């Protein structure tokens, strides 16, 4: 039954068969020369290799192959592609994890080799946390590091935005199918990520973002990167799970300190106490995971170009802190129409961001000041 079978469909069959799983499936694939070899092996050979008889029967059942072909078609219809564990595109660091997924589903540009860092943290992040995540991600992306996060609200989305602003690579690892963007308001962000980066999931197309999926998702975040940076995490944060997994995989763990009286600082401060690298600036990360790239940090031209004219004047005013449009009218002496036009231009160029309260603040490297440049 395995003769002439498409390799990708064979991997889907193998992983979707109850009783096999990622660890046993990988051992079988290694023994029989890949997924096609496993599918083509006899029942006696598979049982002798340690595969339960019930799993062998399910693997060889015609409906298993039919469903695998249907799933492969759904992946293609969703604009995705299958990335088996033996494919060149599969992240090499993730392959080292004992329970790495037998295959991933990717949408967007091909995954590339090279340094990658996960940035994770609170969904209900403070403006400080989001700003640090965005600036740090922009600096890493500018230096040639792929920024990996989970597309969630708060720190995750800020990290993706920072990497995009620097025109670098970013990967979003989902706790749902690649066609199910969660939260739904990040649909535009997901589309922008696929234009230059990648959406990634181990789950079948159409899978809903159930709570049980996210701890498993975190092992991919931690496993495919050289290090994990935690920015704002409460005591029971899922970000601490990602950091623990990174440590278990022998990867670097970084933490950005916060206010000592903030509950969102608890996780990062505990990590620092227990040996995580304290992050004060971009170089603290690059020195550990990609020292060869340190000279590149900040050397590329600004992703959106430096503002000039009236827009540059607004940037100078906003350097002191966030202000509303009315405050900018008073501080600049310009008309409301001029301010609105300038702010729209700066927003489109990624220089300013409007907070939920209506104030405008500088983003990324334009924020100036000390620290994470």
Reported as a single tens digit per residue, the pLDDT across 210-219 is: 998 998 999 9
18-37 confidence digits (pLDDT tens): 999 899 999 999 999 999 99
- Residue where a domain stops, chosen among 46, 77, 108: 77
Residue 284 lies in a domain: yes
Measured CA to CA, the distance from residue 268 to residue 132 in angstroms comes to 13
Residue 65 lies in a domain: yes
- Residue where a domain stops, chosen among 241, 274, 296: 296
Whether residues 135 and 273 fall in one domain: yes
What pLDDT score does 373 carry? 41
Average pLDDT over every residue of 263-271: 90
Domain span at residue 327 reads 309-367
Measured CA to CA, the distance from residue 116 to residue 226 in angstroms comes to 6
Whether residues 248 and 128 fall in one domain: yes
Whether residues 51 and 168 fall in one domain: no
Whether residues 65 and 167 fall in one domain: no
Residue 373 lies in a domain: no
Terminal Cα distance for the chain, rounded:
57
Residue 86 lies in a domain: no
Whether residues 282 and 240 fall in one domain: yes
What pLDDT score does 312 carry? 78
The domain spanning residue 180 has which CATH number? Answer: 3.40.50.450
- What percent of the chain clears pLDDT 70, i.e. is strictly above it? 90
Task: Answer with the residue of higher pLDDT: 275 or 237.
Answer: 275
Whether residues 247 and 326 fall in one domain: no
What pLDDT score does 128 carry? 87
Structure tokens at 171: 């990967």
Residue 365 has pLDDT above 60, yes or no: no
The rounded mean pLDDT for the chain is 87
Q: How many domains does the chain have?
A: 3
Residue 110 lies in a domain: no
What pLDDT score does 356 carry? 67
Q: Which of 280-289, 326-335, 345-354 has the lowest mean pLDDT?
A: 345-354
Whether residues 194 and 314 fall in one domain: no
Helices (H), the chain: 7-16, 21-32, 35-40, 43-48, 53-60, 62-77, 92-95, 127-143, 155-165, 187-196, 213-223, 238-248, 266-273, 282-289, 309-318, 325-332, 336-348
Whether residues 142 and 213 fall in one domain: yes
Residue 111 lies in a domain: no
Structure tokens at 196: 């230059």
Does residue 104 contact residue 201 with C-beta atoms inside 8 Å? yes
What pLDDT score does 366 carry? 61
Residue 174 lies in a domain: yes
Distances from the Cα of 238 to the Cα of 222, 223, 232, 253, angstroms:
12, 15, 11, 14
Whether residues 157 and 256 fall in one domain: yes
Q: How confident is the model at residue 335 (pLDDT cuts 50, 70, 90)?
A: confident
Residue 154 has pLDDT above 80, yes or no: yes
Measured in degrees and rounded to the nearest 5, phi and psi for residue 246 equal -60, -45
Whether residues 246 and 313 fall in one domain: no
Whether residues 136 and 59 fall in one domain: no
Residue 372 has pLDDT above 90, yes or no: no
What pLDDT score does 1 carry? 37
169-226 confidence digits (pLDDT tens): 999 999 999 999 999 999 999 999 999 999 999 999 999 999 989 989 999 999 999 9
- Residue where a domain stops, chosen among 77, 93, 125: 77
Residue 291 has pLDDT above 90, yes or no: no
User: What's the pTM value of the predicted model, to 2 decimals?
Assistant: 0.78
What pLDDT score does 201 carry? 97
Residue 175 lies in a domain: yes
Whether residues 125 and 274 fall in one domain: yes
What pLDDT score does 2 carry? 35
The domain spanning residue 356 has which CATH number? Answer: 1.10.10.10
């Amino acid at each position: 039954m395995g003769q002439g079978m498409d390799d990708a469909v064979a991997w889907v069959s193998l992983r979707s068969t109850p009783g096999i799983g990622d660890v046993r499936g990988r051992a079988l694939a290694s023994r029989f020369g890949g997924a096609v070899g496993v599918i083509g092996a006899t029942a006696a050979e598979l049982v002798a290799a340690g595969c339960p008889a019930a799993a062998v029967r399910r693997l060889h059942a015609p409906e298993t192959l039919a469903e695998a072909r249907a799933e492969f078609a759904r992946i293609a219809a969703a604009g995705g592609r299958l990335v088996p564990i033996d494919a060149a595109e599969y992240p090499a660091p993730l392959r080292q994890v004992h329970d790495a997924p037998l295959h991933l589903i990717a949408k967007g540009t091909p995954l590339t080799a090279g340094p990658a860092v996960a940035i994770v943290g609170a969904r209900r992040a403070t403006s400080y946390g989001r700003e640090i995540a965005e600036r740090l991600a922009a600096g890493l992306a500018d230096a040639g590091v792929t920024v990996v996060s989970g597309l969630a609200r708060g720190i995750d989305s800020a990290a993706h935005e920072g990497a995009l602003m620097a025109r670098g690579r970013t990967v979003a690892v989902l706790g749902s199918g690649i066609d199910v963007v969660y939260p739904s308001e990040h649909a535009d962000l997901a589309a922008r990520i696929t234009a230059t980066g990648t959406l990634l999931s181990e789950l079948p197309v159409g899978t809903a973002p159930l709570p049980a999926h996210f701890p498993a998702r975190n092992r991919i975040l931690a496993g495919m990167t050289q290090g994990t940076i935690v920015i704002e995490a409460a005591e029971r944060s899922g970000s601490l799970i990602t950091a623990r997994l990174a440590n278990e995989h022998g990867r670097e763990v970084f933490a950005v300190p916060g206010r000592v009286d903030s509950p969102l600082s608890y996780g990062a401060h505990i990590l620092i106490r227990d040996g995580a690298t304290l992050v004060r600036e971009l170089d603290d990360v690059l020195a550990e995971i990609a020292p060869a790239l340190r000279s590149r940090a900040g050397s590329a031209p600004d992703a959106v170009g430096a503002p000039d004219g009236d827009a540059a004047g607004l940037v100078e005013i906003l350097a002191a802190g966030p202000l509303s449009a009315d405050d900018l009218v008073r501080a600049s002496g310009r008309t409301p129409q001029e301010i609105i036009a300038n702010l729209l231009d700066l927003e489109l160029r990624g220089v300013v961001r409007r907070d939920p309260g209506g104030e405008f603040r500088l983003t990324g490297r334009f924020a100036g000041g000390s620290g994470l440049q």
